[in-house]
Amino acid sequence: MAHPISAFQAAYISIEVLIALVSVPGNILVIWAVKMNQALRDATFCFIVSLAVADVAVGALVIPLAIIINIGPQTEFYSCLMVACPVLILTESSILALLAIAVDRYLRVKIPVRYKSVVTPRRAAVAIACCWIVSFLVGLTPMFGWNNLNKVRRTQEPNASQEFVITCQFETVISMEYMVYFNFFVWVLPPLLLMLLIYLEVFNLIRKQLNKKVSSSSNDPQKYYGKELKIAKSLALVLFLFALSWLPLHVLNCITLFCPSCETPHILTYIAIFLTHGNSAMNPIVYAFRIKKFRTAFLQIWNQYFCCKTAKNATSSTTTAELGN
C-alpha cells in the first residue's frame, strides 16, 4: 500500500511541477530560436542547444522521477537505480556543454582569423556527441556496479527475503563515495575550475585587444571584441548560475560522506534540490535579457506564431460575425 502524500510532499511536488512548466517551454524556445534563425547557427549556439536539450530533459524526465523518488515507492533495487541515474547523466551533459562553450569563446578571441577553419560544424557536432557519450558513461557508472547494493543486502540479511525490494530513495541506491570522489571531485569541480580560468583568460584577451585598438583608426576590430565581451559576460553568467545552483547539493553530499554524525536539516536538502532543478529554467531568461540575437529570435517567434495568430483569429471571428449579420 502506498503511503498518503503529506502536506510537505504536496508543496514539494507543486514547486517541482512549477519549475518543470517554466523549464520545458523556455528551453524548447531556445532550440526553436536556433533552428529558425540563421544568425544563431555558429558553434557556440550549437553547444547552447545541447545544454537546452539537457535542460528540457530535466523538466520533462528528471523532475517527474525526482517526485517519484520523493514519494518513496517500494521497488526492486536496479529499478530504483534506473530512476536515480538520469539526473547524473544530464548534470554531466550540462557541465560538458558549458565547458565546450567556454573553449569555443576562448578560440573566438584567441584565433579570430582562423576560428571558422578550426571550429567547423562537423567538429562541433563531434564535440557534442563526445560530451553526451562521456555523460552517459559517467552517469551510468552506478549501473555498472558502483552503488549501494551490497550495503543494502547487508541490512536486509536478517529478513532473508526472497524478493529484494527496497524503499526507493536516491541515497539508498547511489553511493556517496561515487557522488563525492568520482562525480564531484573528478567530473564537476575540475571542469568548473577550468571554465573559471578559461573565462578569466577570455576577458583578459578581449580587454587587451580593446585597449590596443583604442588608438586605431579602424573601428571593426573594436566592434568585434566589444560584441565578444558582451556574449562572454552573458555565458559566464550562465556558468556562475550553474555553479551557484549545483555546488550547495554537492557540499551537502560531502558533509554526508565525511561527517556521518552531522545532521543536515531536511529543508536545506530540499532547497539545494530546488536550486539544481531550477537552474534549467534560468538559462532561457539569461539569453532573453542578455543576448540580443536570442531576444530578437524570441520576439520573432512570438510575433509569427502566437501574437499574429491570435490577432488573425480575432479578425476572422469578427469577419464571420459581420457576414452572419
The pLDDT of residue 209 is 87
b/e for 178-215, b at 16 or more Cβ within 10 A? bbbebbbeebbeebbeebeebbeebbebbeebbeebee
pLDDT at 212 over 80: no
Q: What phi, psi does 41 have (nearest 5°)?
A: -100, 5
**Helix 266-290 vs helix 63-71: crossing angle, to nearest 10:** 170
**Helix 121-139 vs helix 43-57: crossing angle, to nearest 10:** 30
Task: Tell me what the mean pLDDT of segment 58-63 comes to.
Answer: 96
Please tell me the pTM assigned to this model: 0.89
pLDDT at 218 over 80: no
The answer for residues whose C-beta is within 8 angstroms of residue 14's C-beta and 6 or more apart is: none
The pLDDT of residue 322 is 47
Reported as type and span, the H/E element at residue 97 is helix 77-110
pLDDT (tens digit per residue) in 162-177:
457 899 999 999 999 9
CATH code of domain 7-305:
1.20.1070.10
AA identity, residue 51: L
Q: Which has more confidence, 308 or 179?
A: 179
CA proximity to 291, closest of 235, 223, 226: 235
pLDDT (tens digit per residue) in 138-150:
999 999 999 999 9
pLDDT (tens digit per residue) in 281-293:
999 999 989 998 8
Between the two ends of the chain, the Cα-to-Cα distance in Å is: 62
The pLDDT of residue 275 is 95
